[in-house]
Amino acid sequence: MLNIKMLKPYYVKEDNRFIRIVLAYQYFSLFIDDELYQFIPMESREIIIDRKSKRVHNVFDIFVFQRGKRIVYISVADLLKLPEFLTHLHSITSPYEAEIIDEVKESEDQIDSIVSYLEKQNLRRLIDKAIDCSDKKTFVELTQTWNDMYSQENPL
């Protein structure tokens, strides 16, 4: 029977694609059959989480735990089956996921602003084209559209 006693990151690294939870001695320990085992960074020493899918990327990595002379090897996949392990991971990564959400909202606002600007420029070009072609009907329709859309704004 596996139970998490403690799971704290030594530090957390992040980039555009991943959140990396780096583990070290005395920061990760498990109860295995009611005996306390300490993490030792022999094989794998980090948990890698994909920011977009919010899934653990390195599920096949092996963590090593030691109690005295006994050593136990446990895969990340086995740890992911423990609800308390998932709870610990979520509490560690949640501040970093919030940053991504803010960045996405900010980029969506920028995209909306750019699209609005381009639509306005396009309408201006169409009005200019109607003037060049002496197309009074199209000119009147487009200027009415302009007035409906941009009459409250300051002209550019």
Summarize pLDDT for 40-66 with one digit per residue, the tens. Answer: 988 888 999 988 788 898 999 999 999
What are the Cα distances from residue 19, in Å, to 47, 51, 99?
8, 7, 12
pTM beyond 0.85: the answer is no
**pLDDT higher than threshold 90 for residue 156:** no
**pLDDT higher than threshold 70 for residue 99:** no
Round to whole Å and give the CA distance between 126 and 23.
60
- Model confidence at 153, pLDDT cuts 50, 70, 90, reads low
- CA neighbor of 14 nearest in space, from 82, 98, 79: 98
Sheet holding 62-67, edge to edge: 2-7, 28-32, 35-40, 62-67, 70-75
Mean pLDDT confidence for 24-48:
89
Per the listing, tokens 């939870």 go with 21
